Amino acid sequence: PQWLAGFVSGDGCFFVELIHSSIHRTGFIVQLGLIIAQHIRDEQLMKIIKEFLGCGYVYSQSKQEAVYLKIENFLDVYHKVIPFFTNYSILGVKSLDFSDFTKVADLIKDKNHLNQTGLNKIRIIKAGMNRGRKMVE
């Protein structure tokens, strides 16, 4: 488990997507996920990690010679991914992304993503994640 936490700290990405939707009151669907990308030669490793976590799917893009493990089902994220990385800590700056990811998951769990106030909170959190994070020296 510690190896996987370190691996995801280096090669994983916790993300939040806002997807336009004409059938939802707020006009958006909020999607959470974890993605790990590796060279296509490491496809078996991605399958082993998928089996270990018990969720997600593995796919490849031959043009990029890459293979991905993606976990985006909310129940899997909330009940498998978040507890795992809470017990086996993400390290470095990615720990801040994981913390924000967890905050968004809690907003979704409490149904706050279904109103404009909650959606605005999610937008603010999302804007500061990953490449949007401003590091202070």
pLDDT per position as a tens digit, 61-105: 878 899 999 999 999 999 999 999 999 999 998 999 999 999 999
**Alpha-carbon dihedral sign for residues 31, 44, 55, 12:** negative
pLDDT beyond 90 at 107: yes
- Spatial contact of 5 and 85, defined as CB atoms under 8 Å apart: yes
pLDDT-based confidence at residue 53 (cuts at 50, 70, 90):
very high
pLDDT beyond 90 at 122: yes
Q: Distance between CA 91 and CA 84 in Å, rounded? A: 14
Average pLDDT over residues 17-23: 91
Average pLDDT over residues 58-62: 87
The better pLDDT of the pair 80, 21 is held by 80
Q: In the chain, what percentage of residues exceed pLDDT 90?
A: 82
pTM of the model: 0.90
pLDDT-based confidence at residue 131 (cuts at 50, 70, 90):
confident
What are the residues whose beta carbons fall under 8 Å from the beta carbon of 33, sequence distance 6 or more?
14, 15, 17, 70, 71, 72, 77
Average pLDDT over residues 42-56: 97
Residue 24's pLDDT is what?
82
Q: What letters, b where the CB count within 10 A reaches 16 and e where it falls short, cover 29-41?
A: ebebbbbbbbeee
